[in-house]
Homo-oligomer: A and B are copies of this chain.
């Protein structure tokens, strides 16, 4: 059974990039279909009915024989593509520990670091609402806390779950390596900086567009 993969994406999104980086590291072919989230293209009735009722990208479309599945959530799509590969450890604790960093990414890292990047780079500082403006400082603090936790871990190992790259690194690399766009200074996190270099040097690595 040969499967084909189509990524429904906005190329500016780090969440979409995670899936492209996973596919590249595993040398899996991946088609893409672009949407502009700033124009509401993921909130159309057609998108909600067929691609994702949650109105968000990325979504990984998986086609095999006559069947087609749409899988939302960036980290779940990475898990699907990497199933059975070296990017997911087999050992029970190591696997759970990898997922721990992926849930940490969605709860503690993305809502702070990715959101500030989105507000500053794509919405524009001058267009932020008062409510968004009031959240800049709390998100800055929470984002620095997340980077500090990563830095502590990366002081002890080359990658987040030991000496080999896993999906935990891919999930957290996406928005960390462009954190400066959200006003974060990675100079404060030297172990994170070394890790970014190691990820960039992986065989098969592709850069974010």
Contact = CB atoms under 8 A, between A and B. Distances in A.
Interface stretch (A34-42, A76-84, A120-128, A177-185): A76-84
Interface stretch (A25-33, A97-105, A187-195): A97-105
A96 B111 contact: no
A32 to B, nearest CB: 19
Contacts of A131: 134-135, 138
Q: How many copies does the complex hold?
A: 2
Contacts of A95: 79, 83
Most B CB within 10 A of own CB, among A54, A69, A130, A149:
A54
B96 A71 contact: yes
Contacts of A130: 134
Interface string A102-120: 1110111011000000000
B100 A71 contact: yes
Contacts of A76: 96-97, 99-100, 103
A145 B130 CA distance: 23
Chain A residues touching B, range = 35 or more
Contacts of A71: 93, 96-97, 100
Contacts of A106: 103, 106-107
A103 B109 CA distance: 13
Given A92-B80, A149-B54, A107 B104 contact: no
Nearest to A76: B100
A79 B99 contact: yes
A102 B73 CA distance: 9
